[in-house]
Amino acid sequence: MFYLLAFSLNLALLVWEGHRRAYPMRTWLVLLACTTLSFILGTKLLALSGPEWRELLHTGHWPDSGARTVLGGALAGTLTLLALRRPFGFSWHVFDAFTLPMCAALAVQCVGCVLTGCCFGELTAGGWGLTYAPGTLPYLWQESRGLIAPDAVHSLPVHPTQLYSLVLCLAVGGVLLLTRHRAWPGGSRRLLHLGLLLAGRFLIEFWRDPAGEQVGADFHTHAGLALKQVQWALLLLVPLVLGSWAWLIYRSRHTVLQPEQMPTPNPIRNLLAVAGLLLLTAWLGPQALTRPEVLVVKTLLLTVLVLEGGALLLGAATTIRPARVALPLTLAAGVLVLTSQTPVAENQREHYTTLSAGVSTGEFERLQNTEGGCGGSSPLLPYQHRYTTGTLDLARTRTAGTDAKGQEHKADVTFGLRLHVGTDRQLPTFSDSLSVLYPDNPVKRTVIGGFNPYLQADRPGFGLGLGLLLGPLGYHRPRSGDQINPGDFQVSLRLGRREWAFGQFDFNYLGYGSGNPQHRIGMGTGFGSTRWQLIAGAAVAKNYALIPGNSRWSGFAEAKGQLTPQWGASTFLTLGNPTQRQLGLRLSRRLGK
C-alpha cells in the first residue's frame, strides 16, 4: 500500500511541478511515464544476483525475485532522463523538477519499510530500537541465527534504519526548499539532492544489518578499512556528485545563467514513445511488474493517449482525419491489453488461438490516366500516395503431433482472418504548368481496407500460405486509371528450416496493411532457435505505371520475436527506393486453449 502511495504522491507532485514550470503537459506526462517505468525496473535489475542475470539473458524470462534497491531506481531514472532530455526538448533544469517529489515519495516509502520490517538495522540496546512480530524478516533472521527462541513473542530490538532514512529524506527536502530561490544552473539541485542522499545512505549503512541490505551487503577490506560493497561504491560516488555540484555553482559565478528551455509538443514523438513503452511492458509481463506498478504505468499511458487523441481531434476540426485519430485510440486499447497482468493458462500442445494487432504506414508514386488533353488523348500524370492502416488478426493454430484422438498431424496448420482499415492520401506531384491545365486535382482521401482470410501450413523444412484479399485495397490495379483494387490473392512459400537458414517468397505480402501489397524474395535465419527470425531481401512494387527513371525494386527487412511464451512482436521495413517506403509494427498474444 505504501509502495503505491509513494508512487502516486511522486507523480502527483511531478504533475504539479510540470504545471508550475509551464511544461506542455502531454510531453511532460510521456517523460514521466518513461522515467517511472525505468525507475521501477532499475530497483529490480540492480538487485538481481549473478545467476538471476544469466537466467534473464539466456531465457528471456524475468527471475522470480522480490529484491529491490532504490539505488538502482535512481541510476536507471537518471540515465533515462539523460537520454530523453534533448529529444523531448527539455533543458538541464528538468532534472531539478524531480528532486522535491522524490524526497516526499521516499519518506512515504520509509513508513512502509518501518511497518513491514524490510531494510532493518543491527541489534541495539538503546531504547529507540524497534521489535517485530513473528513472520517478519527481522524475526525470521534472528530465529535462524538462534538469537531468539522459535516461540518468541517478538524479535530483539534493532536500529530503526528506516526511520533514519525517513529523517534523511525530510532533511534533504528541507535543504532544497531553503535554497529554492537561489539562482543556480540547471541540474545543480539534482546533483545536490543525489549527493546528500547518497552521503546519508553511506552513514546509515553502518547501522543496517547486512541481511536487511538488498545489494552489496558483503564486507570488503581495503587499506585496513572494512566496509560493505555498497559503501565502497558510495565512497566513490558521493565526492564525484557533490564535487560536480560545487563546480557548477562556482562556474555560475563567472558565467551568465541560461533560462530554462520550454519543449514544444510533438504528437508523433509522444506516440512513438508510448508504443515503445507498450512493447516493453508486453515483454516484461507479470513476472517483472506487480499490480500496483502496472496500475501506475497504465494510468500514465492512458492519460497521455486521451490527451493526444483529443488534440488530434481538435486539430482536425474542419477535416476529420481517421488515420490520425485511430493511432492513439489503437494504442489506448493496447494499453489495456498489453499491460494486463492476468496470467494466461498453459496452452495445450494441439491448439491455440492468437490475437494480433498492427499498424503500418507508407508511400508510393504512380502514373494515372487523366481524360482530356489535346486531341482527346489521356496523358499520364504522377501522383504521390501516402497511406496509414491498422490491422486486426485472429488465428487458430493446430500444431504438429498426435492429438487426443490419436490422430497424427505432420504440419502446423493455421486458419486466420485479418481485417485492414485505413486511409490513402493521393497528392498530385506534377508541375505548376500542368496544374493550370488540370485544376480539378486536389488532394484526395480514400478509405481503404478489406478482409483477408488465409491458411498457413508449416513443416520443419517447408511452409506454404494462401490467402484472399477482398475489399477496397488501394490504388494498385493491374491496369491504369484511378480505380480502387477490389480483390486479389496471396501466396507465400518458405524453403529451409526456420531456425537455421531459409528462403522466403511472397506474392502480395499483406501482413501489415492493405495500402501497397508487395512481392518479396529474401533469405532468413532464426539464429539457431525458433524464438527469433530475421528476414531480408528485395521487394518489387505492384504493376501500376511508374514515373520514368524510378525503379520498382526496394530492399526490405523483417524481424520477428517470441518475447514470452504468450507475447510476440514483429516489424517490417521497406527502404532503398524513394518512391516505395513502408514501415509496419505488429504485436500478438496467445489467448489460451
Distances (CA, A) of 457 to 52, 292, 396, 412, 561: 38, 42, 12, 6, 19
Which CATH architecture is the domain 350-592 placed in? Answer: Beta Barrel (2.40)
Q: Residue 123 has what DSSP assignment?
A: B
Mean pLDDT for back-to-back runs of 10 residues, the chain (593 residues): 83 89 86 86 80 72 73 86 88 91 92 88 87 90 88 90 93 92 88 92 90 79 85 90 91 79 78 74 66 71 68 49 50 50 43 84 68 45 74 83 62 84 72 45 73 84 83 62 70 82 81 70 80 82 61 79 77 72 83 63
**590, 353 contact by CB (below 8 A):** yes
Q: With pLDDT > 70 as the criterion, what percentage of the chain qualifies?
A: 75
- Predicted local confidence at residue 378, as pLDDT: 46
Q: Measured between alpha carbons, how far is 91 from 28 in angstroms, rounded to an integer?
A: 13
How many other β-carbons are positioned within 10 Å of the β-carbon of residue 144? 10
- Predicted local confidence at residue 192, as pLDDT: 93
- Identify the residue whose cell numbers are 553511506: 202
- Predicted local confidence at residue 318, as pLDDT: 40
Domain locations along the chain: 91-118+159-262, 123-158, 350-592
Q: Residue 138 has what DSSP assignment?
A: H
How many other β-carbons are positioned within 10 Å of the β-carbon of residue 91? 16
Q: Count H helices, E strands: the chain?
A: 13, 16
- Identify the residue whose cell numbers are 490495379: 477
Do you know the residue count of the chain? 593
Enumerate the H helices of 205-321 as residue ranges: 229-252, 267-288, 291-315
- Predicted local confidence at residue 577, as pLDDT: 66
pLDDT in tens, 24-36: 888 888 888 888 8
Q: Residue 208 has what DSSP assignment?
A: B
Give the global pTM.
0.55
3-state SS, residue 548: coil
- Identify the residue whose cell numbers are 555560475: 252
How many other β-carbons are positioned within 10 Å of the β-carbon of residue 57? 8
Q: E strands, 433-579, where?
A: 444-459, 462-470, 487-497, 501-509, 518-525, 532-540, 553-562, 567-577
**529, 521 contact by CB (below 8 A):** no
- Predicted local confidence at residue 433, as pLDDT: 41
